[in-house]
Structure 1
């Protein structure tokens, strides 16, 4: 018995002395094995009513849905003339998909001989690196800045947070042809640099984020709120002129990059509203007679009316629930003790991104995928030290992951089963 206890303790000690990159790699690969099993099962369950049909393979699932749009973009580029529907409205087209992931996959595809293989490899590698950076975000830096509100989770808690992140309900994004995994890598690197007050590389990361997928305007809002908080707290943490210049310049760059794709689409097509009209084309799948012009907050207001009306709960109830949800999320970010321990920077980012979604997005089945950038909240979920709690959260993650994969890939036969 003593030998057994000694061996167990030695194994634990050996695990903890492994380099962080190795430990994260082992956990990440384990999570990917589970997800691969789910995808294989989903492929075997794909039937006549599914988008993928009977006899689908795991490869079909990995390059399905929006991955087809990224591939089509890489092969055909962006249209000079916007395609139109039979009613004369702008149809779905490539302008809704940013170029970095599509063309990076095409470039690497020359090595692998396949765009799809390259796209999945990029997602896999970016997902691992995002896990590694996520761990670093939750651990204290070697020399923290004076008064800096960084999270300082212990090694075990940060590791559990990574396990939740790598096994989350949307973890399939780490191994399919979507840009989310790559965007999370750029985002986590950017947040880590802000945490550590190292701004130089952000001048590269902001454009990479902006041209990988939409969301960089949320980062502009985050930098604005971050700058205001630093000014308020300048007696606790000195705010030097050089930092002010960086924060203002990076905020301006984020705004410029955030609107650049709209300008590029307008110049290429000759239609200044090309990008927004393209994005709104997807909304017409849910709303008949949707407006052709973008109006801030209109998407969520229409979404509340659409979904609660569909469920028979009444439009008024939808608006009340929407307002209560906004207030509840704000209270969570401000008062919940575990969330507060994430640090001011991560909380400001989460608030900024959710505010951005509230302004621009129409809530539909893709909302689960679009919530991936608030993944730092897994750090809060890992803080309770009860093993029962942590195993329970992990089990919920895996159940949610299977539910999502089953509905979006094995079924995919109705309007709310679209990733």
Structure 2
């Protein structure tokens, strides 16, 4: 049976329909009535009407099912995991989900940050806790104190809660521009993606992705005043302040240009709020550097701590913006092949951003993709953690979800699940001296 449902007038009280209150001209143009017949894939043929009218329940079911699949994968790996620097052989799920950076977060939660930076025998700063921000570990510690539950339990439960929240916000974010069926399939991809295990391990990514999705939603809806507290917490959860500041600068420039070209309103109040949010985000983006300096007395404590991780690959070198990818490419592939591949990746990204599918996303989501890509290109050294650091580019899942072919969608789910298993094998499982951290 096929249901003809006008998404803007469904029995879901929270269903706005695509772009129903999007203030941009572009949003209004994309906000045509969408019916179930326009979604001939999973929506109209396989699932009852309540699946979409109670969208939040649908998202919860999808998220829960995805987590069952990932939990099964992690338990299988744990059953064959040997003794490693963090656990004994065949660890429990809770212990296994708290390895790698989870141990750093636990150290921060209970012992804080060192006032004296550890040094290696060559005099360079060694890897230490200053590379990790305090938002997630301090929250987990607080909840652990309140509940008296162990860190391993609380850290995973907090990640699960934020992961579910992120999935719910992500659906609403996609619904601004995309029909219900496409948005829901994008949620499926969001929940089963190759690095989606981050939603149920002791990492800060789950909390960060929730905050980022919420900030992007409020930005697209132009609820600027709500951005300030989110930016503050987000910037002390994962490094993001500078990238989000660049996004806000782009947003300001876009609205200013549209106001002069098309006479679209850009009230003084909005100008002040966006400008202030951009400055605030920029300040929070450098705040951790200043805090580390104040606590250790060493000006570049944070940046040199971060550089200690890439020293394993290329040795110690100063941080020069926009050089790390060239260095990494040449290390992995040799010169000049590595540099050529990096240039080709940049060109490919630019071409993808110009495609029709990407242009269906709200302009602010496209600005975020560009801003975050520029940030990664400027400061990040490519290695096995690259896959995890690409998580904030999740708006692209809405583009990947656009084709309605049943064969395409089933194949894509299969590929995502296989990639998730491959990522766990390569990055999460520990095999001796493992140089592929997640």
Calculate the TM-score normalised by the size of structure 2.
0.86
Contact persistence 1:52–1:409 (CA under 8 A): no
* Of 302, 314, 332, the match for 2:352: 332
Residue aligning to 2:163? 127
Residue aligning to 2:216? 191
Residue aligning to 1:369? 388
1:301 is displaced (CA, Å) by 1.6
CA–CA separation in structure 1 for the residues paired with 2:45 and 2:379 = 52
CA–CA separation in structure 2 for the residues paired with 1:341 and 1:412 = 43
1:375 is displaced (CA, Å) by 0.8
Residue aligning to 1:358? 377
1:247 and 2:274 aligned? yes
Residue aligning to 2:412? 393
- Is the deviation greater in 360-369 or in 103-112? 103-112
1:385 is displaced (CA, Å) by 0.8
Residue aligning to 1:104? 139
Residue aligning to 2:290? 263
Task: Give ranges in structure 2 of 5+ residues lacking alignment.
Answer: 2-43
Residue aligning to 2:425? 406
Contact persistence 2:241–2:283 (CA under 8 A): no
* Of 253, 268, 278, the match for 2:305: 278
Q: Report 1:130-279 matches (<5 A).
A: 130-140=166-176, 152-234=177-259, 235=262, 237-279=264-306
* Of 14, 30, 44, the match for 2:65: 30
Higher RCO (C-alpha 8 Å, min separation 6): 1
Q: Deviation per CA, 1:110-158: give whole Å up to 9, x if none.
A: 2152112111111101000101111111113xxxxxxxxxxx2111100
SS at match of 2:224: coil
1:381 is displaced (CA, Å) by 0.6
Q: 1:11 to 1:255 in 2, by over 3 A?
A: closer
RMSD: 1.8
Contact persistence 2:289–2:300 (CA under 8 A): yes
CA–CA separation in structure 2 for the residues paired with 1:103 and 1:49 = 26
1:48 is displaced (CA, Å) by 5.7
Q: Report 1:17-96 matches (<5 A).
A: 17=53, 19-47=54-82, 52=87, 54-96=89-131
- Is the deviation greater in 317-326 or in 369-378? 317-326
* Of 138, 142, 151, the match for 1:115: 151
* Of 330, 338, 341, the match for 1:321: 341
Contact persistence 2:169–2:214 (CA under 8 A): yes
CA–CA separation in structure 2 for the residues paired with 1:80 and 1:48 = 32
- Is the deviation greater in 40-49 or in 205-214? 40-49
Q: 1:338 to 1:47 in 2, by over 3 A?
A: same
SS at match of 1:92: coil
Calculate the TM-score normalised by the size of structure 1.
0.90
Q: Report 1:289-328 matches (<5 A).
A: 290-291=316-317, 293-309=318-334, 315-328=335-348
CA–CA separation in structure 1 for the residues paired with 2:168 and 2:84 = 39
Q: 1:336 to 1:412 in 2, by over 3 A?
A: farther
SS at match of 2:314: coil
1:16 is displaced (CA, Å) by 2.8
Q: Deviation per CA, 1:233-257: give whole Å up to 9, x if none.
A: 1226321111111111000001110
Residue aligning to 2:14? none
CA–CA separation in structure 2 for the residues paired with 1:251 and 1:55 = 48
1:13 and 2:49 aligned? yes
Task: Give ranges in structure 1 of 5+ residues lacking alignment.
Answer: 2-7, 141-151, 310-314
CA–CA separation in structure 2 for the residues paired with 1:205 and 1:92 = 29
Residue aligning to 1:348? 367
Q: Deviation per CA, 1:258-277: give whole Å up to 9, x if none.
A: 00100010011011111111
CA–CA separation in structure 1 for the residues paired with 2:219 and 2:367 = 12
Contact persistence 2:384–2:427 (CA under 8 A): no
1:284 is displaced (CA, Å) by 1.1
Residue aligning to 1:418? 437
CA–CA separation in structure 1 for the residues paired with 2:287 and 2:390 = 23
SS at match of 2:429: helix
CA–CA separation in structure 2 for the residues paired with 1:48 and 1:97 = 25
1:298 is displaced (CA, Å) by 2.2
SS at match of 2:312: coil
Residue aligning to 1:143? none
